[in-house]
Chain A
Amino acid sequence: MSDQTDVLQGTLDLLIMRTIALEPMHGWAIAQRINQISDELLRVQQGSLYPALHRLEHQGWIMAEWGASDNNRRARFYALTKAGRKQLTTEVEKWERLSAGVNLLLQRT
């Protein structure tokens, strides 16, 4: 895996966790929410969304439970775990430091 993928993957994890921090959501809704909130700037590929969700669950940051979706279908809802919440704070800080650094670099050169 190249470094680029890592960064992207890390970013996707951050986006997912931030999105479900407010309320538990199922996969499709997460993708939609990211899409809407970022004013359609960010587009989540399904090909990476589900592996990311499963990986995060596997790592214990998020947990999944079956529930009824808004159109009354059975859906798998993802929610942050306690550890996931802590992890989100760290990830957000990390991202802010990174973007601040990148911004500084872009402005000053």
Chain B
Amino acid sequence: MRLWHILRSRLRSIGFRGRRESDLSEELQLHLERETDRLQATGLSREDARLQALRLFGGVEQIKEAARDARGTGAWDALVRDTRHGLRRLVRDWRFTTAAVLILGIAIGANTAIFSVVNAVLFRREAFAEPDRLVNIYQNDRSGNPMIVTSYSAYMEIAEYTDIFSGAMAASIPNPTRYLHDGAVRDAVVEYATATYLSVLGLQPSRGRWFDQTEERRGAPIVAVIGYQAWTRLFRGDPAIVGRVIRMEGVPVTIVGVGPATLRGTLDIGLGTDFWLPVTALPAMAPVPALRDAPTIFAPLFVKARLREGVAVAQAAAAMNILGRRLAEENPDQFRNTGEFALGPGITVIPSTDVRIHPRADVPFMALASLVLVIVGLVLAIACSNLATLLLVRGAARAKEVSVRLAMGATRRQLVRHLLIESLLLSLAGGIAGCVLAWWGMRTLQTIDLPFRVDMNVDYRVLAFAIALSLVTGVVFGLAPAIKATRVDLLQTLRDEGLQPIDHRRLTLKNALIVAQVAISVLLLGGTSIFLQATSAAREQRIGYAVDGVAMLETDVRFAGYSDSAAKTAYDDLLRRIEAIPGVEAAALLRGLPMASNTMLIVVDSATGQPGSEVEATMLEAGPGFFDTLRIPLLYGRVFDARDRADTPRVAVITEAMARKHFGAVDAVGRRFRLQTDPNSWTEVIGVVRDTGTGDFEDDIIDPIAPPYYRSYTQSGSQATTVLARTSRDAASLVAEMQRELRAVDVTLPVITAKTMAQRLEESRAVPALVATLFAILAGLGLVLASIGLYAVVAFAVARRSREIGIRMALGARSQQVVGSIARGVAGLVGVATGIGLFLAVLLMLALRTSSGSAGIGIGSISVYRPSIDPLALLAIAAVTALVGVAAAFVPARRAARMHPLAALRHE
């Protein structure tokens, strides 16, 4: 009860300050009146009685103050007063306030937005139950490095170890898959998983159920579990989703459940998994036709298992090693080959909590992530040091005000409190601006059309961190001048500012901050130049195939439920119609998009009877007429034609790069190779064509694909999906004409892709261009921030030196000399800073050049562009920085030069 009374009384004191004050006045007034009445009753006149009462009473205001203090609200009142005063000050110094709030807002907002993206892609952790008992299991390559479990049968063997594991599960690397929804073909991310998947992770479906063991059998009707995010986003949380049939890659799939809300995917790298299908559904869905009829399911699988109670990781590792050796003995075929990617007998067991993506991908991936974070951190550092500079400058400029207030009797505590509140208000305003900018930035980033979808949310921890950092900066640098200012020699400052000795020290805190800011900006500009260099290098690359006049149209007859023979007729009809379009010079059918590559492992026939070497190669899809349509020159042998059918021996056309690298001669016609996953897939080289770029030139520069070869869809037993055509007229109008022909064949056929070759190339540049733009924005922001800081410092220095300038000008110095002396100071600072920044940028470039940067795990790699050190770019950066420095210094310098000597002398 007492607590309630206390709380109520305090809340009322704070909340109803006005009423409390009037209550107090009224109460005291009543007291005075009663006292007057009493005294009047003793015989005094009314007036005398009132005076007597007042005398007895003492100071009304003092009593009020004492009563207020008794309530403990004095500190609150002071806070309100200081806040009001602070707000008034900040409004009056609106230039300073705007600059500071902008700096903070940009720093907090930009950082939060960018970090949220990085965080979504790299750092988010899955909420698995008891994660410390989960282990990841990998098969090793021949040198003992973990790869990935490559076959379903190997996983089944691992899952047999029920004395070690209470459960094991496998899930494929996320696969891009198409499905039909609302009449349109859409892209989805699909994982092929085992029936044990969810129970091993210790999670529950949020609706329906996970698929069971009978549905994991090969040939069973295909079912799927939809991801929670996909369910809410694509189906608006439709409760009738369970039981619904969706056509995926043309195959009807029944939804049996909705995944847990907390689960985005096995690999949480921002790619949310939309559907989980049984691993045995993989052959039916496979985008690579070669896998469709394979007797064993070969798929890159992530295997996780839950250790039984009391089983140590080492025990599991020992058991898995025995298994690895047994597997090697039982399936010698799989383990016979040599080469970088050949399977070895070892098996690696690692606690799941120690792995982010893959043991071998984590290091470069984290390095990349750290780089982004470092950049973002640098911008934050610039902003904070900038704010510090501004506050320092302002603090020094307010020395006089502080002295006056001290002289008037303000205590140091009051002054410090006041300045502190002002800093906090500033940081708060910056924080709010930051929130708004972060929110806006995220919205903007989300509208950018990326080839993959990233689930992004403003990361509130980061937002809180950025705001906290800005608060600390505000407090530290807001307070430092406050304390310094309250130590000023009263008389000295009040008497005459101008007689203060001029600060000739070079290494002041302000100068150091400015140099740091400019240097960081230069470093960021250096980073931007690397991206620009990579982009321009990609643009200048030889494409090697026709782009002008080339258009493509992709559909998939499976979505319209065609039989195989009906499909062939439909495509042949479509091709004939498109060939007949006026202006079309050549056309071809193929599967997938032209120049889309698929990296795979192949075994090259040694031609000496020895076991083949296992190497990485890239398969591109082609069909009869393909090379003619894209004008790719044939060097040796022949290209695909009607002779190459599903029932004739497998053939391939290879590039000269592959011929040279794997067969030792450009004329490799007649040589053989096969897929690593299928011992019966020997393929004969029938022709060698000139090298070309792929559909992704940016990637060709940064991370060139393994030597490519072409296969024809006519041999994989699957249908074509795409018509490729070259016209002598406009490619864009050809796209429209091709779509018209498609509708003429069958209106129910969905248009999956309809674009020109030029558009396709441009799209491949979207992501690198986005990265380069982000980097450029960051560098630009850094430079803008640094120039604001530079401006503040120069303006302040000029203001401080106005008396000196006045004297010099009165003694005959010309304005050029004044500007010159200021410019020399600025030039020194900017020069030193640019030097440091360029040095760091060159170090960065050298580090990138020497980085190995790539980590093959058989599923792709992460690479960085290796820049060359371009003196012109460095010179340009120095010039830009110098220009910005001059601009920042020019305004205050000119003001000084224009000052009338008398005005300068009277200044302040």
Q: B-contacting residues of A (Cβ < 8 Å)?
A: 26-29, 31-32, 45-48, 50-55, 57-61, 63, 69, 73-76, 81-83
Count of inter-chain pairs, beta carbons less than 8 A: 82
Contact indicator A51/B70 (Cβ below 8 Å): yes
A60 and B5 contact, Cβ closer than 8 Å, known pairs A51-B67, A51-B69, A74-B26: yes
A47 and B66 contact, CB distance less than 8 A: yes
**Given A45-B58, A59-B6, 11 further pairs, Cβ under 8 A:** A26-B27, A32-B38, A46-B56, A46-B58, A47-B62, A51-B67, A61-B2, A73-B30, A76-B26, A81-B1, A82-B1
Complex Cα distance A69/B69, Å? Answer: 27
- Known A28-B31, A69-B30, A82-B1: A50·B10 in contact at CB below 8 Å: no
Residue from the list B5, B23, B67 in contact with A83, Cβ < 8 A: B5
With A55-B70, A58-B10, A63-B5 known as contacts, the answer to whether A50 contacts B63 (CB < 8 A) is: yes
Interface string of B483-513 (1 = CB under 8 A from A): 0000000000000000000000000000000
What's the dominant secondary structure at chain B's contact region? helix
Whether B76 is near chain A, meaning CB under 8 Å from some CB there, is no
**For A29, A54, A61, which residue has the most chain B Cβ atoms within 10 angstroms?**
A54
CB <8 Å contact, A28 and B56:
no
B28 CB–A CB distance under 8 Å: yes
Q: Find residues 1-38 in chain B having any chain A CB closer than 8 Å to their own CB.
A: 1-3, 5-6, 9-10, 13, 23-24, 26-28, 30-31, 33-35, 38
Find the A residue at minimum CB distance from B30.
A75
- Measuring CB to CB, which residues of chain B are less than 8 angstroms from any residue of chain A? 1-3, 5-6, 9-10, 13, 23-24, 26-28, 30-31, 33-35, 38, 56-59, 62-63, 66-72
- B58 CB contacts on chain A under 8 angstroms: 45-47
Q: Closest residue of chain A to B38, judged by CB?
A: A32
Give the nearest-CB partner of A46 in chain B. B57
Min CB gap A71→B, angstroms: 8
On whether the beta carbons of B2 and A60 are closer than 8 Å, the reply is yes
Which residues of B are found within 8 Å of A52, using beta-carbon distances? 70
> Are B28's CB and A54's CB within 8 A?
no
User: B56 contacts A58, CB within 8 Å?
Assistant: no
Q: A27 near B27 (CB under 8 angstroms)?
A: yes
Contact B2 A83 (CB under 8 A): yes
- A66 smallest CB distance to B (angstroms): 8
Residues of B within 8 A of A31 (CB): 31
Nearest A residue to B3 via CB reads A60
Q: How far is it, in angstroms, between the C-alpha of A82 and the C-alpha of B70 when the chains are bound?
A: 21
Q: Contacts of B27 on A, CB cut-off 8 Å?
A: 26-27, 50, 75-76
CA distance A13 to B9 in the complex (A): 18
Alpha-carbon distance between A53 and B69 when the two chains are bound, in angstroms: 12
Provide the residues of chain B in CB contact with A55, threshold 8 Å: 70-71
The chain B residue with its CB closest to the CB of A31 is B31
CA distance A76 to B26 in the complex (A): 9
- Indicate if the CB atoms of A28 and B30 lie closer than 8 Å: yes
Please pick, from A46, A51, A58, the residue contacting B6 in the complex, using a CB distance under 8 A. A58
Least distance between A90 CB and chain B CB atoms (Å): 13
The answer to whether A54 and B71 touch (CB under 8 A), given A28-B31, A47-B63, is yes
- Can you offer 29 A-B residue contacts whose CB atoms are under 8 A? A27-B27, A28-B30, A28-B35, A29-B34, A31-B31, A32-B38, A45-B58, A46-B56, A46-B57, A46-B58, A46-B63, A48-B66, A50-B24, A50-B28, A51-B63, A54-B68, A54-B70, A55-B71, A57-B9, A58-B71, A58-B72, A60-B3, A60-B9, A63-B9, A74-B26, A75-B27, A82-B1, A82-B2, A83-B5
CB distance from A60 to the nearest CB of B (A): 4
Least CB distance, A17 to chain B, in whole angstroms: 14
Taking a contact as CB atoms under 8 Å apart, the answer to whether B63 and A58 are in contact is: no
Taken together as a complex, chains A and B put the C-alpha atoms of A59 and B59 apart, in Å, by 25
Residues of B with C-beta under 8 A to A45: 58
